[in-house]
Amino acid sequence: MKKVLSGIQPSGNLTLGNYIGALKNFVTMQHEYECYFMVVDLHAITVPQEPAALKEQIESLASLYVAAGIDPNKASVFLQSHVPAHAELGWLMTTLSYMGELERMTQFKDKSAGKESIPTGLFVYPTLMAADILLYDADYVPVGDDQKQHLELTRDLSERFNHRFGDTLKVPEPYIPEVGARIMALDDASKKMSKSSPNPSSYIALLDEPDVIRKKIKRATTDSDMSVRFDKEKKPEVTNLISIYAQCSGLSVQQIEEKYEGKGYGDFKKDLAEQVVGTLEPIQQRYKEIRSSGEIYDILKKGAEKANATASKKIKEVKEKMGFLLPN
């Protein structure tokens, strides 16, 4: 069976962008593949996190995975920090990487822009991400298209390793949704919707109350043209809202354009808000149940056991190939 692996950072309130670009695909893929879905807590600390907030974000994100429909009996749900091989292979991958290729990563450039002191972790983040994927021989990695460049680096590193030490690591493929691969901020369609944005009205959080969602969509930036048309170049804001509508309703872009032909943005936005509320309400309901039951601890324990079993075999193989002396 082909393998799938992906993760999300517990670095803030999960957004509709994370859901559409990643989580929604996780839920679909668990029925067809052997899946590993992590909370990448070691990645979250590449920017400073307050310990109590980090702990809450980790538990919240793991619970959201399950609330969104990941079945822990089908897929392994676990924390990256519960599987020591991630940090270990991360270091080994760092030693195979070059400064120049890491400097070219656009996410690094964006996240370090304007900072006086740039954390080293932010710089080497993609080598840890490569390790996350390569430990499990993942065939596919469901991500939004902002992660495509990191995945290309993962492919380069695995090919480099195989070339130098012999065939060991699987070269993975990205799995990027056709519509909604990059959901943009509600207030500025030139920026992606991001959970660590300081402006909460730029994103819809998965745990936002229905009335907050309605308000945010009502205020979302549009244009003066007043036609509901998908056009990334000329109408980026409306195009973004259509992508969200399509992903939440299951309608195609064309069906949405036809539905709102000759109507203004008022009706479109009202219906869009109800589509989003309708998508998130069952997730929020299930989330509350999971948080109050404490069941997530058992799920994470079971998930880590399975992940450790796979990852520890791979790290042993990698170290052997590289020339490390293994313990008896």
Which residues are identified as catalytic?
111, 192, 195
The answer to whether the annotation marks 10 as part of a ligand binding site is yes
CB of 92 to ligand AQP, least distance (A): 21
What DSSP line would sit under 119-188, residue for residue? -HHHHHHHHHHHHHHHTTT-SEEE--GGGHHHHHHHHHHHHHHHHHH-S-S---EEE--SSSSSPBPSS-
Which residue's CB is nearer to ligand AQP, number 21 or number 72?
21
Q: How far apart are the C-alpha atoms of 283 and 66, rounded to whole Å?
A: 9
The answer to whether the annotation marks 156 as part of a ligand binding site is no
Asked whether the beta carbons of 300 and 76 are under 8 A apart, the reply is no
Among the listed residues 4, 5, 17, 70, the single contact to ligand AQP using CB under 6 A: 17
Among the listed residues 4, 5, 18, 175, the single contact to ligand AQP using CB under 6 A: 18
Among the listed residues 3, 195, 216, 269, the single contact to ligand AQP using CB under 6 A: 195
Residue 216 touches ligand AQP, criterion: CB under 6 A: no
User: x/- binding map, residues 151-190, to ligand AQP, per CB under 6 A?
Assistant: -------------------------------xx-------
Residue 13 touches ligand AQP, criterion: CB under 6 A: no
Cβ atoms within 10 Å, residue 132 = 27
Place of tokens 């064309």: 254
Q: Which residue is nearest to ligand AQP (CB)?
A: 21
Q: Which stretch binds ligand AQP (CB under 6 A): 10-18, 230-238, 274-282, 290-298?
A: 10-18
Q: How far apart are the C-alpha atoms of 233 and 63, rounded to whole Å?
A: 37
CB of 11 to ligand AQP, least distance (A): 3
Residue 9 touches ligand AQP, criterion: CB under 6 A: yes
Which residue's CB is nearer to ligand AQP, number 203 or number 268?
203
The answer to whether the annotation marks 193 as part of a ligand binding site is yes
Among the listed residues 15, 80, 239, 247, the single contact to ligand AQP using CB under 6 A: 15
Q: How far apart are the C-alpha atoms of 213 and 215, rounded to whole Å?
A: 5
- 290-312 burial string, b = 16+ CB within 10 Å, else e? beeeeebeebbeebbebbbebbe
Residue 4: partners with Cβ closer than 8 Å, 6 or more residues away:
26, 29, 30, 33, 34, 35, 36, 138, 139, 140, 141, 142, 175
- Binding site for L-tryptophan, by residue number, is 132
